[in-house]
Amino acid sequence: MQRNNIHLAVCADGAVTETLNALKASPATSKAKAKFVLATDGAWFETEDLDSGETIACQYPHFPDHFGFFLPLAGISTVKEIRNNAIDIKATGRLNRLYVELLKDNEDWATDARRHDMNQFMTRLIFCFFAEDTDLFKGDDLFTSTIEQMTDSRTDNTQYVIGELFRAMDMKPEDRKTANLPRWACVFPWVNGGLFAGCKEIPTFSRIARSYLLHAGRLDWKEINPDIFGSMIQAVADDSERGELGMHYTSVPNILKVLNPLFLDGLRGQLEEAGDNSRKLLNLRKRLSKIRVFDPACGSGNFLVIAYIRMREIEADIVRKRGEPVQKSWIKLEKFFGIEIKDFAVEVARLSLLIAEFQCDVRLIGQKEAKSMMLPLKHTGQIRQGNALRVNWLEVCPPVGTGVKLVSNDLFDTPLEQVEIDFENVAGETYICGNPPYLGSTWQSKEQKDDLETIFDGRVKSWKSLDYVAGWFMKAADYGIVENASAAFVSTNSICQGQQVPILWPLIFQTGHEIAFAYTSFKWANLASHNAGVTVVIIGVSKKAGATRQLFSLEGDSETVVKKTGNINTYLVPAPSIIVDSVSRSPNDRALMVWGNKPTDGGNLVVSSVERQRIISNTPEASEFIRLYFGAAEFIRGLERFCLWIEDDDLAKAVAIQEIRDRIARVKGFRLASKAAETRPASEYPHRFRQI
Ligand SMILES: C[S@@+](CC[C@H](N)C(=O)[O-])C[C@H]1O[C@@H](n2cnc3c(N)ncnc32)[C@H](O)[C@@H]1O
């Protein structure tokens, strides 16, 4: 038994299930607050997470495949999708060890000035691990085994060996003859695409760091999921995110709630409608090739990756139906745009898209062709590092028809050999999507408030009450004025409630956008401690919302109900667009609304449930002076609170009770000391609320 952790037992052959049941039933398990019970006879293995009720039963040798299940023992919380992907967790865990260890030996790499170099170095490693497991490098585990063989755990030549490997990968075959590369580096292909250009420095490697590098390399990276892995890997470079693996993770079903109604359903509809008509199918394929997807808070790119994969699947259907010979996809990664504030996530987003492209090619075209097309690396998604609320979106994802200068827009900010590539954006559609950060007005930093100010100041007065996510909606709507674009984001539901509605939505409507589809509030089933209690909505806005709009709601756990309606208003109700604004005076035909009871008491007339219990148990006669007290919080959240309520006639009786007497004295002192002249006279009747 490990207190607060696990109760486990080794048992006789064949007695695993009954032993697990005995552990579960044991009073010691609950007394020690064990989170898990586990039993094994060495051949069979069973365990249960006592909080979630999830269980695992497997052959004992498969135990390590399930270690994601036990992450709570390491103080790490994460969602089920991540827990179930052992390879992604292992990869993140090992990279993380390596990252931390490298920073110990290379302190300057942890500074702001060097962080980009560090992140770039880690991304190069990830690429090599992936490449050696997918036969992009010839020979099994070529990268890891070369390092293992050519370096020595007792000396410090790891840095040199990796440096030479990276130098080779940055060099065209024709330049190698005179480059004096070691023989073992020459077998590595030219990768380039900017990935190995730029900073050539390699951090120094201690013995421990070398071991961690080899451990990471020994994983089978072929199976990593560019969407899950990407979201998790943000934690590698960020101490604060480590306890909640995949803190930013938006699950694939939730990503599809955004992407399907935004544009994927439309594409599938067109595919179905085309039937076997070759010309219609070809038109759809052309349409697909012109679509641009843009996530202005892209993290490590999972919305873009999923959009890309799903579009490739539709394209594959077209190719199959038309009986076209297998050929390269027309869907180009450079049509996928993103903005992300965190440097490491940016690097990973670019790499994730390349990995997604390769995996799609393998699946849809075949391993051999995919390999031949991958190297040297070409363009990947156009991911910009920056603050999305400050960056001009029209520069990141320029209006179609204008020439786009692709300068240093390759994998890793390094100019390509081609110097600059201009390519014409033929008219198409742009879909803006994502899960931008939500942050209520009281939680925003000074910088975040300033971000909102640059967007809303001068357009609307009370912009300070807006959630941070409102900035993304506004920028998307502004972008849509210029460009043929529709947008959909996951958002906190507060922007569709109360005071934010009349501030934000009239501005959005002024740009010609309407709500094209929405998911009404649902609980964000993500990491408990981080997102506890967050209720989200999904809102799609468009200038071409159409006559029929789709309003989705989730019933129970997973059933989705969709209502077709002519209008979705800002409260996400299928009804006319009426916005409830605040007014400071009651209209003439309504009852006058005035200040209610206002204590102005320094907290001394207000009594919590606990205080009430204490006071009454000490002096039961106090109970007649303690009343239920309802404010907005009590009303909305069902909380309980009390106050002292003493009529003038009862004052003598009340002050006979010591606690009440003390409280009244403190109210008097508080009011006397008040800076507000109108409060001070109220010190004459401190047993009462100042206003009744
Ligand atoms: C909820 S996460 C979603 C990311 C990704 N879609 C996923 O599911 O992993 C929001 C992302 O926005 C980024 N972010 C926060 N503030 C930003 C800003 N001002 N500009 C650009 N990105 C920002 C965060 O770093 C984070 O990666």
Read off the pLDDT of residues 246-268 as tens digits, 9 standing for 90 and up.
Answer: 777 888 889 999 999 999 999 99
Question: What are the tokens at 272?
Answer: 């179905």
What integer is the mean pLDDT of 88-102?
A: 87
Query: Are 213 and 125 spatial neighbours (Cβ–Cβ below 8 Å)?
Result: yes
Radius of gyration of the chain (CA): 31
Residue 54, pLDDT score? 84
Q: 518 or 178, which is more confident? A: 518
**Cα-to-centroid distance, 568 and ligand 1 (Å):** 27
Residue 57 contacts residue 43 (beta carbons within 8 Å): no
The pLDDT value recorded for residue 389 is 98
Q: Rounded to 10 degrees, what is the CA torsion of 56, 58, 61, 65?
A: -40
* Distance, CA of 622 to CA of 616 (rounded, Å): 6
Overall pTM > 0.85: no
Question: For residue 437, how far is its CA from the centre of ligand 1 (angstroms)?
Answer: 6
Over residues 438-442, mean pLDDT: 91
pLDDT given for residue 94 in this prediction: 87
Among 247, 337, 340, 438, which residue has the most ligand 1 atoms within 8 Å of its CB, making it the best to mutate? 340
Distance 339 CA to ligand 1 centre (A): 9
Mean model confidence pLDDT for the chain: 89
d(CA 295, ligand 1 centre) in Å: 9
- Range of weakest confidence among 119-128, 157-166, 240-249, 344-353: 240-249
- Distances, alpha carbon 378 to alpha carbons 41, 169, 345, 518, 627, in Å: 53, 14, 20, 37, 72
Report the residue among 341, 450, 453 best suited for mutation to probe ligand 1: largest number of ligand atoms under 8 A from its CB. 341
**Residue 40 — φ and ψ, nearest 5°?**
-155, 150
DSSP state of 325: P
Q: What is the pLDDT of residues 156-197, one digit of tens each?
A: 799 999 999 999 999 988 899 888 999 999 999 998 777 887
Q: Among 172-176, 284-288, 520-524, 582-586, which stretch is predicted with the lowest mean pLDDT?
A: 582-586
**Percent of the chain surpassing pLDDT 70:** 94
Q: Could you tell me where the DSSP H helices lie in 9-157?
A: 16-25, 27-31, 80-83, 86-105, 112-133, 142-150
From the alpha carbon of 303, which atom of ligand 1 is closest? 6
Residue 422 has pLDDT above 60, yes or no: no
Give the whole-angstrom CA distance, residue 212 versus residue 202. 16
The per-residue pLDDT for 410 is 40
Q: How far is CA 435 from CA 123, 147, 304, 512, in A?
A: 24, 40, 12, 23
Tens of pLDDT, residue by residue over 648-682, are 999 999 999 999 999 999 999 999 999 999 999 99
Terminus-to-terminus CA distance in the chain, angstroms? 60
What pLDDT, on a 0 to 100 scale, did the predictor assign at position 83? 74
Expressed in angstroms and rounded, the spacing between residue 29 Cα and the centre of ligand 1 is 41
Q: Is the pLDDT of residue 373 over 90?
A: no
Amino acid at 664: I
- Measured from CB, residues less than 6 Å from any atom of ligand 1 are 231, 248-250, 297, 299, 302-303, 339-342, 345, 387-389, 434-437
- Ligand 1 centre distance from Cα of residue 417 (Å): 31
* pLDDT attached to residue 52: 79
Which residue is closest in CA terms to ligand 1's atom 5?
Answer: 299
Residue 12 phi/psi, 5-degree rounding, is -70, 160
Could you give the C-alpha distances from 306 to 12, 97, 256, in angstroms and in order?
47, 28, 8
Q: Is the peptide bond before 376 cis (omega within 30 degrees of 0)?
A: yes
Provide the pLDDT confidence category of residue 531 given band limits of 50, 70 and 90.
low
| C-alpha 443 to ligand 1 mean position (Å) | 16
Residue 416 in this model has a pLDDT that exceeds 50: no
